[in-house]
Amino acid sequence: MDTVSYPDKKVIEFINNSLISLRVRYDAQPMATDFNLKWTPTLIILDKEGKEHHRTVGFIPAEELIPSLLLGIAKVHFDLNEFKDALSRLEKILSDFPKSGSAPEAIYLKGVCLYKDTKNPKGLKEAYEQLQAKYPEGEWTKRAYPYRLL
Amino acid sequence: MENKITRESQMDMALSRARSENKPVLLDFFNPG
């Protein structure tokens, strides 16, 4: 991460503008125990109260890091029922990083956000249709499978 | 534009900044090797 992903100018700009970065050693206590740390690098997105909402374990290349962090920020807003704020981050992933590994989950979560925000199941069915078209064998397509019937 | 990531090393300071700047926290566990 230190030699490839973190020196990337777009990554630096994104993290400094969008997040408060807190970096600690793998053996820093009590945090390593509190967060059940088992391997590095582990990146965790916390809300303003310190509650965990998203976690990745393992190296992430620069081109995947921003969409992964955007997904984490979206999950913070989703978990706090701030659906419009979540949607703006998810749509950013889909517009700017459509081929990223975070895109399928972003499509799924966007559908759920739309449903929870509007109570209209149309968003769920559209999520399934998009996932089926782009990732027919994908994990998130399988998770969305029931929504085909809506 | 800054040429490096601005980082905190203490949870209390990170959460204080998170509240004042209305941003989530990126907690980065690393192994210095």
Determine whether the interchain pair B24/A50 forms a contact, defined as Cβ–Cβ distance below 8 Å: no
Tokens of A37: 């740390």
Residues of A in Cβ contact (< 8 Å) with B7: 21-23
Pick B6's closest partner by Cβ from A21, A35, A49: A21
Residues of A in Cβ contact (< 8 Å) with B27: 22, 24, 31, 35, 43-46
| Cα separation values, A68 from A27, A100, A119, B26, Å | 24, 9, 27, 11
In chain A, what percentage of residues exceed pLDDT 70?
100
Q: Would you tell me which residues 11-30 of chain A have a C-beta closer than 8 angstroms to some C-beta of chain B? A: 11-13, 15-16, 18-26, 28
B23 in contact with chain A, both atoms CB, cutoff 8 A: yes
Tell which residue, A113, A143, A117, has the closest CA to residue A128: A143
Backbone phi, psi, residue A21, to 5°: -85, 125
Evaluate if residue B2 carries a pLDDT over 80.
no
Find all residues with CB under 8 Å of A126, minimum gap 6, and list them. Answer: A111, A114
pLDDT for residue B1: 64
Tell which residue, A16, A20, A2, A19, has the closest CA to residue A62: A2
Determine whether the interchain pair A13/B2 forms a contact, defined as Cβ–Cβ distance below 8 Å: yes
Q: Using DSSP bridges, classify how beta strands A52-57 and A20-25 pair: parallel, antiparallel or unpaired.
A: unpaired
* Sign of the C-alpha dihedral computed for residues A31, A63, A140 and A69 taken in this order: positive
Angstrom distance (rounded) from CA A43 to CA A1: 11
Tokens of A116: 């929870």
Question: pTM of the entire structure?
Answer: 0.96
A44 in contact with chain B, both atoms CB, cutoff 8 A: yes
Q: What is the pLDDT of chain B when averaged over all its residues?
A: 95
Burial (CB < 10 A; 0-12, 13-18, 19+), residue A84, is: exposed
pLDDT digits (tens, 9 = 90+) for A13-71: 999 999 999 999 999 999 999 999 999 999 999 999 999 999 999 999 999 999 999 99
> Of how many residues is chain A composed?
150
Angstrom distance (rounded) from CA A42 to CA A115: 31
Tokens of A39: 């391997």
Tokens of A132: 């089926």
